[in-house]
């Protein structure tokens, strides 16, 4: 399981393709999450790879077991077949704590006493949150207590070439600042959990929505801190409503749990630049044909595509 390496161990050569779909169970599956599921599945299967499902319920204040169960049922109904057991982030706290302690011990992470109020007047970071200017980098102010833990970031460009979106470069210090990996409410942050899980599960390729493009340099930095090789990334355009908002529970995206699989899957193929298949096809034949025609270069190189719900 453990692929997090120390500096003494050479990096492994790239293993066989292993992809994943990692939904946060905050509601039922909708068209937007189906796009990520289909994209990651077809890319894995077209390369003879494995595809796993991970339930990203690390934020237990927003996630429910009912949603997780509903998502898995819908995936099954749509004919997805995953490899190996499902991993639940809510059961991984001990592992995340172990990694946090490793990062603190290496001097890469530190306790932070700042509250939201302390940071409210800071300039904005790339994702709209206050930019962290390093107030607790050298230790917390006297008379204060540690609330959260942050990862130290370098004043250097982190660049990667996304298979769909092209080259992305970020200066983590200027664009994001030292970021939270364990929150003030004691929960581990998405950024830490996702990287630890992707490393531990041997994920070689990540295909997901473009809303996570800005998070990727932070995640690549975490790989570097843990002496692990980052995966290849492909960020799919985001399905948005007429107001250009991401389809989500918050924007009342309709659930597809009771939807008819083939028409919906055909809409996803069209969204991804592929030809829809005959409406009377069986699910097995649909997947075989869709895998055969998968071509990542046909995906529109856009960040947002409007869909009718």
Which residues bind to ligand GLU, rule: CB under 6 A? 22-24, 56, 194, 208, 212
How far is 266 from 269, CA to CA, in rounded Å? 5
User: Which among 12, 8, 26 is positioned nearest to 230, based on CA atoms?
Assistant: 12
* Nearest distance, CB of residue 237 and ligand GLU, angstroms: 15
* Residue closer to ligand GLU, measured from CB, 68 or 307: 68
* Residue closer to ligand GLU, measured from CB, 24 or 170: 24
SS (H, E, C) 96-111: HHHHHHHHHHCCCEEE
How far is 50 from 21, CA to CA, in rounded Å? 11
* Residue closer to ligand GLU, measured from CB, 172 or 194: 194
* Nearest distance, CB of residue 209 and ligand GLU, angstroms: 7
* Nearest distance, CB of residue 216 and ligand GLU, angstroms: 9
* Residue closer to ligand GLU, measured from CB, 190 or 286: 190
Q: What backbone torsions phi and psi does residue 33 show, to the nearest 5 degrees?
A: -75, -30
* Nearest distance, CB of residue 56 and ligand GLU, angstroms: 4
Q: How many CB atoms within 10 Å of residue 300?
A: 13
* Residue closer to ligand GLU, measured from CB, 212 or 225: 212
Under DSSP, is residue 278 helix (H, G, I), strand (E, B) or coil?
coil
How far is 218 from 270, CA to CA, in rounded Å? 32
* Nearest distance, CB of residue 206 and ligand GLU, angstroms: 6
Classify residue 217 as left (phi > 0), alpha (psi -120 to 50) or beta: alpha
């Amino acid at each position: 399981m453990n692929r997090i390496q120390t500096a003494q161990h050479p990096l492994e050569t790239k293993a066989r393709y292993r992809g994943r779909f990692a939904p946060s169970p905050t509601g039922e599956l909708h068209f937007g999450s189906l796009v990520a599921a289909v994209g990651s599945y077809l890319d894995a299967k077209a390369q003879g790879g494995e595809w796993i499902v991970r339930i990203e319920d690390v934020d237990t204040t927003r996630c429910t077991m009912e949603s997780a169960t509903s998502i898995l049922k819908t995936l099954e109904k749509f004919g997805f077949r995953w490899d190996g057991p499902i991993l639940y982030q809510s059961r991984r706290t001990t592992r995340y704590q172990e990694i946090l302690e490793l990062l603190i011990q290496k001097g890469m992470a530190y306790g932070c006493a700042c509250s939201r109020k302390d940071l409210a007047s800071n300039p904005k970071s790339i994702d709209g949150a206050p930019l962290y200017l390093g107030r607790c980098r050298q230790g917390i102010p006297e008379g204060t207590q540690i609330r959260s833990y942050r990862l130290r970031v370098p004043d250097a460009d982190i660049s990667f070439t996304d298979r769909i979106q092209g080259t992305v470069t970020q200066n983590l210090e200027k664009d994001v600042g030292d970021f939270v990996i364990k929150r003030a409410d004691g929960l581990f942050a998405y950024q830490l959990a996702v990287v630890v899980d992707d490393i531990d599960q041997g994920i070689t390729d990540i295909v997901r929505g473009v809303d996570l493009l800005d998070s990727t340099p932070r995640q690549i930095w975490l790989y570097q801190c843990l002496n692990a090789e980052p995966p290849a990334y492909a960020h799919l355009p985001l399905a948005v409503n007429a107001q250009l908002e991401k389809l989500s529970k918050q924007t009342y995206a309709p659930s597809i749990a009771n939807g008819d699989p083939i028409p919906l899957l055909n809409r996803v193929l069209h969204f991804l630049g592929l030809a829809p298949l005959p409406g009377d096809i069986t699910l097995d034949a649909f997947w075989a044909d869709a895998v055969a025609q998968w071509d990542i270069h046909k995906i529109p190189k856009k960040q947002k595509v409007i869909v009718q719900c």
